Amino acid sequence: MIPVTKPFLPPQEEYEKFLEGIWSREWITNNGPLVQDLEEQLKNYLGFRNLLLVGNGTIALQFAIKALGISGEIITTPFSYVATTSSIVWEGCTPVFVDIDSETLNLDPNKIEPAITENTSAILATHVFGNPCDVEAIKEIADKHQLKVIYDAAHCFGTTYKGSSVFEWGDISTCSFHATKIFQTIEGGAVFSENQNLMERMYFMRNFGHDGPGNFNGLGVNGKNSEFHAAMGLVNLKYVDDLLQRRKHQYQRYEKELKPESIQMLKLTDRDGFNFAYFSAVFESEATMNRVKTELEKKHIYARRYFYPSLNNLDYVSGEMPISESVSARVLCLPLYHQLKKEEQELVIETIKKTLRNV
């Protein structure tokens, strides 16, 4: 079987060395030494000093909305994972969808201003598949209308934009360290911000608001990460450069081999800074996509309709987004992961080519 992704697992003995320390200290959560060490190592690796580990990428979005004091309407993208929209609704805000750019698949800045009303408080945009949004245009609009900006950068570990970390953009950026991501801590995520006050607010929020024994600093929940998760992160961080390089080679092989086919590929906003997190293929029609998907599955190859459905079609929101709906109906993310063998990837490519020739 060739799945769309597999988690990278480091050598078991390297992880077990960290477990010995956890057992000897008997300190397994509540901002333990491994969590603190991982935070510091990530700051150094990513070149961004304001970082907090949290329980997952979804609670990172919820913290961002809460810390910024956002209410009312949030302009957002319909082409993202469901957590982008559900976090807005969960925090009592209203998602206002703006359609996407048909080539980058990111929120289209040209469509933001017509959607702004007196109730608009923020913009929450996703860097789709690790491909940075038009951050300059979004900043200009946000500054003009005094809006907060949150970036769902769940896919962006290792992504840079014009030579700097993509996490530098927006009031707050969030990332996911879920098991399927390039860098994983089993479950986990992080928040990033240049604003020290926001970082302090989220520091307390992730641990019930605790500010010393018997003291509390505002409203909080349990958004921490454990020593076991941090141990996985510390081991995996040693391998992340190799993971990024291998994905780049796999991505480029797909590009080269499938370029002659009638497949739309992602338009990259900064190729030099892209992390090659996903390879998305947008086919000419939903029927063609389904035929390709079916033929792949006959060979036990499991591509994913990602993102599907377009989020404006969820049962707790509304609105028509023709470009997002069209792309969602036609997109497949192809297998891309560290353990994917060349011959397995070649089987994926040849199956797609053969199917398209017979359409």
Are 283 and 203 members of one domain? no
Percentage of residues in the chain having pLDDT higher than 90: 97
Answer with the one of 210, 237, 264 that is the final residue of a domain. Answer: 237
Given this model, what pLDDT does residue 24 score?
97
Given this model, what pLDDT does residue 210 score?
93
The answer to whether the CB of 79 falls within 8 A of the CB of 242 is no
At residue 46, what are phi and psi to the nearest 5 degrees? -85, -10
Going from the C-alpha of 253 to that of each of 265, 311, 342, 347, the distances in angstroms are 13, 31, 9, 12
Give, as one character, the DSSP assignment of residue 347: H
Mean pLDDT, to the nearest integer, of 268-274? 97
359 has pLDDT over 80: no
B/e letters for 156-176, b = 16+ CB within 10 Å, e = fewer, are bbbbbbeeebbbbbbbbbbbb
Given this model, what pLDDT does residue 294 score?
98
| pLDDT tens per residue, range 180-205 | 999 999 999 999 999 999 999 999 99
Residue 76: name the closest of 63, 58, 92, 94 by CA.
94
277 has pLDDT over 80: yes
Count of structural domains, the chain: 2
Given this model, what pLDDT does residue 182 score?
97
The whole-angstrom distance between residue 272's C-alpha and the CA centroid of its chain comes to: 19
Are 110 and 57 members of one domain? yes
| pLDDT tens per residue, range 290-300 | 999 999 999 99
345 has pLDDT over 90: yes
Average pLDDT, the chain: 97
Confirm whether 7 is domain-assigned: no
Given this model, what pLDDT does residue 358 score?
85
Answer with the one of 215, 237, 259 that is the final residue of a domain. Answer: 237
Beta strand 51-54 pairing with 189-192: antiparallel
Are 229 and 276 members of one domain? no
Mean pLDDT, to the nearest integer, of 245-252? 98
Structure pTM? 0.97
Mean pLDDT, to the nearest integer, of 144-152? 98
Mean pLDDT, to the nearest integer, of 260-264? 92
Domain range holding 283?
A: 240-357
| pLDDT tens per residue, range 317-338 | 988 999 999 999 999 999 999 9
Are 146 and 281 members of one domain? no
Given this model, what pLDDT does residue 214 score?
86
212 has pLDDT over 90: no
Predicted confidence band of residue 35 (pLDDT cuts 50, 70, 90): very high
What whole-number distance in Å separates Cα of residue 222 and Cα of residue 316? 26
Given this model, what pLDDT does residue 307 score?
97
Are 129 and 256 members of one domain? no
Confirm whether 6 is domain-assigned: no
Are 151 and 197 members of one domain? yes
Are 66 and 135 members of one domain? yes
Mean pLDDT, to the nearest integer, of 29-40? 97
Percentage of residues in the chain having pLDDT higher than 70: 100
- Dihedral sign (CA 282, 286, 288, 290): positive
Are 224 and 302 members of one domain? no
